[in-house]
């Protein structure tokens, strides 16, 4: 780019220098600013830089100038994101199983661009955490984009759905036949991304792991299930699905020791009904999708929790306990 064109971009390069090289604990002098601008092929007088800084302040950039031993030092004060917020974003990207390792690195690099080079190094240290399991589906961004597009356009989608076999190969479900559903919502649950949709053939709400969806296409037909989703509560749906495993919905009564009160609130929310039984225990009545995952969750709570109703669910729990006893008694 010619030097003349660079001169026209002086204020933008000034902002770039301040954003990259300064923060609340790192400042830069006017001499250093002028030297940094020269690296971009820009020559400037101090007076014009002062004017550009005022224009940037008017625009909303928090440029702070502080005098120390007859020298002024400049830095960016408040940023759009604080360092703690950027660390939270980095941790979220790292923890997201629905993102591939490659996409995670790309996103984290972009997040680093929101900080100074000094703060970015702190974010980089955040990245070196224990190995986390990541999806292998590189099309996750495309999938999410297609689903949002379908929801915005009020149309159905078709796709193929797969599972992994013991050889770590993708095996298409329904022998590769297309699924056709009406997408209504996306949910992040159990460290995975899920599509919540209406299946008109089965007349029910279903969910699908987004990273296991292939070849998503928008259909011409309008979405169905509007009446079902008009009263749909995504939070309630996620609470009753354990690990997003489906099952028959039941109102289940659980007898709990008092020390499990926090566990119940964490799982079902502060509005969960807890009825005192005696000084040491209470009952909770919760609507859940009764699945093996739900039964395993109750078992994991140990002697502090016991399903007491309805009888059909108690019976199912007894069968599950018998199955486990047989499984672990076999040689």
138 in any annotated domain: no
Note whether 263 and 279 are same-domain residues: yes
133 in any annotated domain: no
Note whether 32 and 90 are same-domain residues: no
Note whether 282 and 216 are same-domain residues: no
Boundary-marking domain end, from 76, 109, 135: 76
Give the pLDDT band (50/70/90) at residue 134.
low
Among the listed ranges 49-58, 123-132, 202-211, 316-325, which one has the minimum average pLDDT value? 123-132
Note whether 109 and 181 are same-domain residues: no
Give the pLDDT band (50/70/90) at residue 128.
very low
pLDDT of residue 328: 87
54 in any annotated domain: yes
Residue 220 confidence (pLDDT) above 80 = yes
Note whether 50 and 98 are same-domain residues: no
Which residues have CB under 8 Å from 285's CB, separation 6+?
A: 251, 252, 253, 254, 273, 275
In tens, the pLDDT along 35-66 reads 999 999 999 999 999 999 999 999 999 999 99
99 in any annotated domain: yes
Among the listed ranges 104-113, 148-157, 213-222, 309-318, which one has the minimum average pLDDT value? 104-113
Boundary-marking domain end, from 230, 258, 279: 230
Nearest to 116 by CA among 24, 12, 10, 32: 24
Note whether 199 and 266 are same-domain residues: no
65 in any annotated domain: yes
Whole-angstrom distance, CA of residue 272 vs CA of residue 275:
10
238 in any annotated domain: no
Mean pLDDT, to the nearest integer, of 193-197? 87
Note whether 89 and 70 are same-domain residues: no
Note whether 150 and 226 are same-domain residues: yes
Mean of the per-residue pLDDT values of the chain: 85
Nearest to 71 by CA among 28, 134, 18: 28
Whole-angstrom distance, CA of residue 253 vs CA of residue 283:
7
pLDDT of residue 129: 43
Q: Choose between 86 and 168: higher pLDDT.
A: 86
Q: Choose between 91 and 189: higher pLDDT.
A: 91
pLDDT of residue 76: 94
136 in any annotated domain: no
Give the pLDDT band (50/70/90) at residue 292.
confident
Q: What is the CATH number of the domain that holds 287?
A: 3.30.70
Note whether 273 and 318 are same-domain residues: yes
Hey, which bits of the chain come out as E strands? 28-29, 63-68, 71-76, 155-164, 170-172, 179-189, 192-199, 204-209, 213-222, 248-257, 274-276, 281-290, 305-309
The domain tally of the chain equals: 4
- What domain range includes position 200? 146-230
Boundary-marking domain end, from 180, 199, 230: 230
42 in any annotated domain: yes
Residue 180 confidence (pLDDT) above 90 = yes
Q: Choose between 128 and 223: higher pLDDT.
A: 223
Residue 131 confidence (pLDDT) above 60 = no
Q: Choose between 245 and 324: higher pLDDT.
A: 324
């Amino acid at each position: 780019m010619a030097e003349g064109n660079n001169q026209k971009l002086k204020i933008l390069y000034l902002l770039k220098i301040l954003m990259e090289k300064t923060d609340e604990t790192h400042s830069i002098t006017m001499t250093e600013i002028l030297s940094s601008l020269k690296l971009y092929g820009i020559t400037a007088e101090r007076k014009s830089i002062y004017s550009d800084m005022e224009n940037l302040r008017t625009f909303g950039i928090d440029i702070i100038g502080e005098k120390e031993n007859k020298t002024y030092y400049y830095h960016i004060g408040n940023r759009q994101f604080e360092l703690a917020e950027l660390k939270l974003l980095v941790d979220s990207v790292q923890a997201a199983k629905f993102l591939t390792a490659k996409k995670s690195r790309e996103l984290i690099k972009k997040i680093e661009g929101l900080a100074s080079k000094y703060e970015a190094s702190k974010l980089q240290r955040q990245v070196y955490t224990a190995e986390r399991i990541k999806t292998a589906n590189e099309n996750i961004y495309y999938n999410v984009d297609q689903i949002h597009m379908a929801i915005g356009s009020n149309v159905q989608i078709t796709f193929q759905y797969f599972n992994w076999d013991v050889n770590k190969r993708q095996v298409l479900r329904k022998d590769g036949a297309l699924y056709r559903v009406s997408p209504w919502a996306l949910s992040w649950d159990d460290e995975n991304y899920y599509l919540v949709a209406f299946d008109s053939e089965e007349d029910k709400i279903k969910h699908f792991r987004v990273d296991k969806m292939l070849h998503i296409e928008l259909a011409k037909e309008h979405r169905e299930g509007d009446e079902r989703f008009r009263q749909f509560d995504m939070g309630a749906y996620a609470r009753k699905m354990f690990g997003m495993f489906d099952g028959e919905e039941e109102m289940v009564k659980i007898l709990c020791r008092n020390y499990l009160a926090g566990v119940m609130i964490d799982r079902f929310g502060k509005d969960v009904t807890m009825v005192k039984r005696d000084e040491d225990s209470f009952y909770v009545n919760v609507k859940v999708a009764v699945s093996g995952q739900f039964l395993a969750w109750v078992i994991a709570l140990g002697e502090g929790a016991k399903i007491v109703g309805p009888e059909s669910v108690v019976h199912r729990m007894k069968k599950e306990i018998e199955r486990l006893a047989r499984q672990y008694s076999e040689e």
